[in-house]
Structure 1
Amino acid sequence: MTRLVIRLFVALLVCLLNCLASPAHGANRDSHVIVVSIDGLAAFLLDDLKAPIPTIRKLAREGATGENGMKVSNPSVTWPNHSSIVTGVRPEKHGVLANGVLVRGAIGLPTVVDPRRDQRDLIRVPTIFDAAHAAGLTTGDINWPCTRNSKTLDDTFSDVPDQVTHMTPRLRSELVQQGILTDETQASFAANSVVGRDLVWTEAACHLIRQRKPNLLLVHLLNCDATHHALGAQTPSGYTANAYADTCLAKLVAATKEARIFDKTTFIVVADHGFAMTPKAIRPNVILRQQKLLSVTAGKITEARVHVFPEGGIGLVYCTNPGDAPADREKFKELMSGQEGVADVLFPERFAEYGLPHPREYNQAPDAVLVAKDGYAVSGSAEGETFVTTNIEAKTSLGSHGFISTLPKMNALCVLSGRGIRAGVKLADVENIDLTPTIARLLGVDNFPTDGKTLTGALKD
């Protein structure tokens, strides 16, 4: 009897261990999802007939689109929103507030951003590629932010300084062999223009599609964003950038056909934010310098009691002495009140409604947020004497994002097409955190926790 009990116990234990070690039962190894983020492709461009984007429009006709595009996260900048797309939660939870880690200095020293960080330093919650990998599916990324040294991406070419250095060694060697990269050095890759880099990233993604057929592939293209910053979205140069991005997307679609997985692939074509024209700039740090709340040496802020870190249409306000922060932010609000170009100053008590973390709970969170009006960008410069100036004098971009996401111009492109997607669907009230549970459903990844909703209206089943 005792031997029988022992045998039953051992059998039960083995069964339990096998269950724990096995992929999730619902994971579909025969399905493929390719997420293509065209940085800065605003939702309004889908309906702008001057934008030559035939591939995107074909996928839209054959699939589902956001009726008003897709609402993005605050701040409406690149790394935070790419993190929202793959986590299904807003920055309040995933923790990415800028294009890097925001590092608070000692008392009296300004906050700086450090982009040379790993995934584990940036994102505080699980990602959909973590879950897909755990479910036994294959994963990869090309130029996706916040993925450096990821443990759950089989192939990675992360959006990070020194991209080539941190690339998966196998992929780096293959790209050199294929002639996609000149050699294995960062210097030769960095010599490319932003258009040339988009080409490298596109060819690298096509290589992965043909050779690996990943279940989940994340691709991020940058030329549209660069052009829209410099010259604006709805300009001849902007439209040219849109056309080039569309051509890159067409190559990815063609690669799935060459790999014979086209009929098994869902394409999710999105952007991280929209764009607004900002011919004027506001310079809050100039007033802070004039009030002796910060000091400048050789054009650089070297000491600060209060200073503003710019993020396009908003500025993150940091008070460097925790004991004086409540009084200092009140002083800041008083200084900004009534100034041209200022829409609002948000205090931490209001952060939750914007999906932002409270500084009491998260060290990177600002002590206040300066919100610019449409048409104005926030400059980080403390030089000059006037609060408002031109974008040229302030050295800010003619086109900007970063504005509070309720500004319709910040809405991003959102198109779902291919396997499992209904045709001709217009989706209302899409937010980028809704993409994660939708991807999970398409891949059969069970029980992934998100704050987003599955876009069931787009799905065939």
Structure 2
Amino acid sequence: MRVAVCLFAILPLFVAAVNAADAPAGKDRCVVLISLDGLANFYLDDPKAEMPYLKSLIKSGTRSAGTVCTFPTVTWPNHTTMVTGVPAAEHGVLGNDYLDRKTAEKVQLLTDPVFDKDEVVTSPTIYDVAHAAGLKTAGIIWPATRNAKTLDFQVPDMAKDGWQKYGTPTWLEELRQAGIPVDKHGTYCTDSSGGGVLRDWLYTKLADHLFQNHPPNLLLVHLIEVDHIEHKYGPQSPEAYWAVKFIDDRLRDVVESSKKSPYADKTTFVIVSDHGFLPITREIRPNVLLKQAGLITGDGKGPANRQVYSVANGGGCLVYLLDPAKKAELMPKLIEKLGAIEGVDTVITPDRFAELGLASPEKDPRAPDFWLAAKSGYSFSDSIVGDDVVTLRETPGGTHGYLPNQAPLHGTLVLNGYGVKAGGQLPIVSNMDIAPTIAALLGVKMPTAKGKVLKDALH
């Protein structure tokens, strides 16, 4: 699959971005992009959500009424959209998981990616542009950044021993010498509780070290505990409200640590989330139906013969037809059959791909032939086990991945600090607007971005 993304095809995009980054760059300032994974916009108006620190930043900064996210509304595509300013069809990160058509096996990007950044991200990022302009860049578990050459300091979004293999070696050694337990990160990730509390604490310690020792002009920080808890217990559950308060405290830690940077007086915070959340009680298993139709053979315990296969991304699902000779015959039948499953809200056919910023298999072989989107209360599963296409979950939970035109799926956007208006209000915006807005704050240009600069938020 590495061959599918041709680096020679990508190179002109990066050259164009580098040549365009010729405005006076803000070497005397810093932008901190902080992703609070899974923090739906609705929490900012929920009286049960204790977020005193974020609300203080809203009061002295500018807030949007929400962000429309990339479909599927999952972590890796949306974090990549936020730093490229383009939809998934252009930046190349199509989902958290997809299918390799050659092997008919699922490729999991999360949490131990099989690709370096330049092998999967096919559009210039804000950190590429900033680095080309001579600015210092850093990333703390930002998705799709493994071996990113334009992050001067970074640890990738990986578990196990990913940091030791792919983190910045000299920085990791400094962190060890400072007593920061970076070598325990893999243990935190595999903890039975999910390790989110210790992980987010660790990520804030890394940010603090950077501000003091290697002050960046652009820092990307990804905090994960809200997402982890909402998957397990559901949005707006007692546990989710606890996680919201916890993440507000970690946000405070990062913002307060920035005061140790020489750029403290010229630091801007862009606080975002990658998606919202919906509650779930039932699971849809399209592959069970495909097995019953004879299009998948196997018992789910070993390799299966797959003529058609679906790959779940929460409330979104990619469907692949793997026999080109049968595609014309099978596709209309499958659209009808899969679309009729209980809990399926929409079948997204190729005529809607451009509207939703989705790649087509003719242009990107990793792309599916069509998508399914679930209704609230339902999530998809890859399982082929059993005879039930729709099953009741043992315990309720939460997920995302659904179509983005629903208020509960809207992400958060708050801007505060240098160059930002106080008490500002923005309408619902696209998360493609984040990268070009950061570019404007840093004094660099990003001509490849499809989003717009949020000028109404800026001085």
Q: Which residue of 1 aligns with 2:9?
A: none
Which of 75, 78, 100 is equivalent to 2:75?
78
Structure 2 residue matching 1:144: 3-state secondary structure: coil
Which of 22, 32, 39 is equivalent to 1:34?
32
The structure-2 alpha-carbon separation of the partners of 1:217 and 1:187, relative to structure 1 and needing over 3 Å to count, comes to: closer
CA-to-aligned-CA distance 1:400-440 (integer Å, 9 cap, x gap): 10001112211011101110000111111311100111000
- For the pair 1:441 / 2:443, whether they are aligned, the reply is no
Q: Structure 1, unaligned stretches of length 5 or more?
A: 1-19
Which of 100, 120, 123 is equivalent to 2:121?
123
How far off is 1:101 after superposition? Answer: 6.4
The structure-2 alpha-carbon separation of the partners of 1:343 and 1:209, relative to structure 1 and needing over 3 Å to count, comes to: same
The structure-2 alpha-carbon separation of the partners of 1:300 and 1:378, relative to structure 1 and needing over 3 Å to count, comes to: farther
Listed as ranges, the matches of 1:186-225 within 5 Å are 187-188=186-187, 190=189, 193-225=195-227
Partners of 1:334 and 1:448 lie apart in 2 by 41
Listed as ranges, the matches of 1:264-413 within 5 Å are 264-299=266-301, 302-392=304-394, 398-413=397-412
- For the pair 1:168 / 2:168, whether they are aligned, the reply is yes
Q: Which residue of 1 aligns with 2:139?
A: 141
The structure-2 alpha-carbon separation of the partners of 1:28 and 1:323, relative to structure 1 and needing over 3 Å to count, comes to: same
- Aligned-partner residue type, residue 36 of structure 1: I
Q: Which residue of 2 aligns with 1:96?
A: 93
How far off is 1:51 after superposition? Answer: 1.0
- For the pair 1:180 / 2:180, whether they are aligned, the reply is yes
Q: Which residue of 1 aligns with 2:13?
A: none
The structure-2 alpha-carbon separation of the partners of 1:99 and 1:340, relative to structure 1 and needing over 3 Å to count, comes to: closer
CA-to-aligned-CA distance 1:30-77 (integer Å, 9 cap, x gap): 11100000110000000112111111111111111112x111001100
- For the pair 1:236 / 2:231, whether they are aligned, the reply is no
Kept in 2: contact 1:100–1:117 (CA 8 A): no
Kept in 1: contact 2:97–2:107 (CA 8 A): no
Partners of 1:300 and 1:75 lie apart in 2 by 28
Partners of 1:291 and 1:22 lie apart in 2 by 53
Structure 2 residue matching 1:352: 3-state secondary structure: coil
Kept in 2: contact 1:35–1:267 (CA 8 A): yes
Partners of 1:141 and 1:216 lie apart in 2 by 8
CA-to-aligned-CA distance 1:351-384 (integer Å, 9 cap, x gap): 1111101111111110110111121111111112
Partners of 2:105 and 2:307 lie apart in 1 by 8
Kept in 2: contact 1:325–1:367 (CA 8 A): no
Partners of 2:434 and 2:173 lie apart in 1 by 32
- Aligned-partner residue type, residue 63 of structure 2: T
Q: Which residue of 2 aligns with 1:53?
A: 51
The structure-2 alpha-carbon separation of the partners of 1:164 and 1:295, relative to structure 1 and needing over 3 Å to count, comes to: same
Structure 2 residue matching 1:392: 3-state secondary structure: strand
Kept in 1: contact 2:300–2:384 (CA 8 A): no
Aligned pair count reads: 434
How far off is 1:300 after superposition? Answer: 5.2
Structure 1 residue matching 2:347: 3-state secondary structure: strand
Equivalent pairs: percent with the same residue?
40
How far off is 1:179 after superposition? Answer: 1.6
The structure-2 alpha-carbon separation of the partners of 1:371 and 1:443, relative to structure 1 and needing over 3 Å to count, comes to: same
- Aligned-partner residue type, residue 398 of structure 1: G
Q: Which residue of 2 aligns with 1:14?
A: none
Q: Which residue of 1 aligns with 2:14?
A: none
CA-to-aligned-CA distance 1:264-305 (integer Å, 9 cap, x gap): 110011100000001112111111111111023344562211
How far off is 1:327 after superposition? Answer: 2.3
- Aligned-partner residue type, residue 256 of structure 1: S
Partners of 1:229 and 1:246 lie apart in 2 by 19
The structure-2 alpha-carbon separation of the partners of 1:101 and 1:207, relative to structure 1 and needing over 3 Å to count, comes to: farther
In the superposition, the TM-score normalised over structure 2's length comes to 0.90
Kept in 2: contact 1:79–1:100 (CA 8 A): no
Which of 250, 254, 257 is equivalent to 1:255?
257
The structure-2 alpha-carbon separation of the partners of 1:312 and 1:447, relative to structure 1 and needing over 3 Å to count, comes to: closer
The structure-2 alpha-carbon separation of the partners of 1:269 and 1:297, relative to structure 1 and needing over 3 Å to count, comes to: same
CA-to-aligned-CA distance 1:58-114 (integer Å, 9 cap, x gap): 1111111112x11100110000000000000000100101226642234xx344335
Partners of 1:305 and 1:296 lie apart in 2 by 12
- For the pair 1:132 / 2:130, whether they are aligned, the reply is yes
